[in-house]
Amino acid sequence: MASVSLIRGADLVAAPWKNGGGVTREVAAFPAGATLDVFAWRVSVADVAQAGPFSRFAGIDRTLVLLSGARMLLVEAGGPHAVVHTLREPLDIARFEGETAIVAHPVDGPTRDFNLMVRRSSARADLTVWRSGAFDVQDADTLLLFCAHGPVDIELGVGVTHRLNALDTLRVDSPRGVSCRLRGEGAAVLAVRIHKLSADEVAVQS
């Protein structure tokens, strides 16, 4: 049976980045209370006020979504032909490996970003943007519904509705077969579906 918990954005606690170059607010992580060196997955919100390098995380796959701000460039180190991820407007998405040396360049002022980090030896995750409508979750161990633009009403199953404001998150563990309906004018939810790797899947990677 699905287990549901509501994480309020107002309760998130600010902490310095691993490299000291910015501020992040952890939304959720597994295992609970895991440090940056051992988490299987982690979701956070970061404020970027000036250009500077991102922290590097070996073995981690990263997904970053622009939440607010004019524009941001993520430049991968690599000489004159370096890859540049351009986030032009809110809800633009960049995906890259945690080992990659990335320098962030906010354009026309500070930005706020949603960060998904997954240890590739432990889990897989995908992130999509949901707006008003109905959605079914068939294959996930954990579903995170993060309100990027709100408010939004999220109905799980029949008759159970949760109101989320911007930066609130609805966490659903064991959500297989759960149906969701979103209602909200102009609302946008980042839906993160996380799949923990089985022992056999881990062995295949080795």
Tens digit of each residue's pLDDT (9 = 90 or more) over 129-163:
999 999 998 889 999 999 999 999 999 877 789 99
- In 10 A of CB 153, how many CB atoms? 15
**Which residues fall within 8 angstroms of residue 155, CB to CB, at 6 or more apart?**
161, 162, 180, 181, 182, 183
The answer to whether the beta carbons of residues 120 and 61 sit under 8 Å apart is yes
Is residue 17 very low, low, confident or very high in pLDDT (cuts 50, 70, 90)? Answer: confident
Query: For 187-205, what is the mean pLDDT?
Result: 81
The answer to whether the beta carbons of residues 70 and 92 sit under 8 Å apart is no
Residue 156, classified by CB atoms within 10 Å of its CB into exposed (0-12), middle (13-18) or buried (19+), is buried
Is residue 190 very low, low, confident or very high in pLDDT (cuts 50, 70, 90)? Answer: very high
**CA–CA–CA angle 61, 66, 67 (5° rounding):** 125
**What pLDDT, on the 0 to 100 scale, is given for residue 50?**
85
- In terms of residues, how long is the chain? 206
Least confident of 13-17, 55-59, 95-99, 144-148: 13-17
Q: What is the CA radius of gyration of the chain?
A: 17
**CATH class for domain 13-119?**
mainly beta
**Which residues fall within 8 angstroms of residue 1, CB to CB, at 6 or more apart?**
174
**CATH 2.60.120.10-classified regions of the chain:** 13-119, 123-205
Query: For 110-138, what is the mean pLDDT?
Result: 94
Least confident of 77-81, 99-103, 196-200: 77-81
Q: Is the pLDDT of residue 73 over 70?
A: yes
Q: Is the pLDDT of residue 204 over 70?
A: no
β-sheet bridge partners, residue 135: 180
| CATH architecture of the domain formed by 123-205 | Sandwich (2.60)
How do residues 41-68 score in pLDDT, each as one tens digit? 999 999 988 888 888 899 999 999 999 9
**What pLDDT, on the 0 to 100 scale, is given for residue 203?**
52
Segment 162-165 long-range contacts (CB within 8 Å, at least 24 positions apart):
162/4, 162/6, 164/6, 164/189, 165/9
- For the record, the structure tokens of 61 come out as 């796959």
Query: For 95-113, what is the mean pLDDT?
Result: 91
Cα 89 from Cα 164, distance rounded (Å): 22
Round the average pLDDT of the chain to a whole number and report it. Answer: 90
Cα 43 from Cα 77, distance rounded (Å): 24
Query: For 177-184, what is the mean pLDDT?
Result: 92
- Give φ, ψ of 12 to 5 degrees: -70, 140
**Which residues fall within 8 angstroms of residue 98, CB to CB, at 6 or more apart?**
56, 57, 58, 59, 60, 61, 62, 117
**What pLDDT, on the 0 to 100 scale, is given for residue 86?**
94
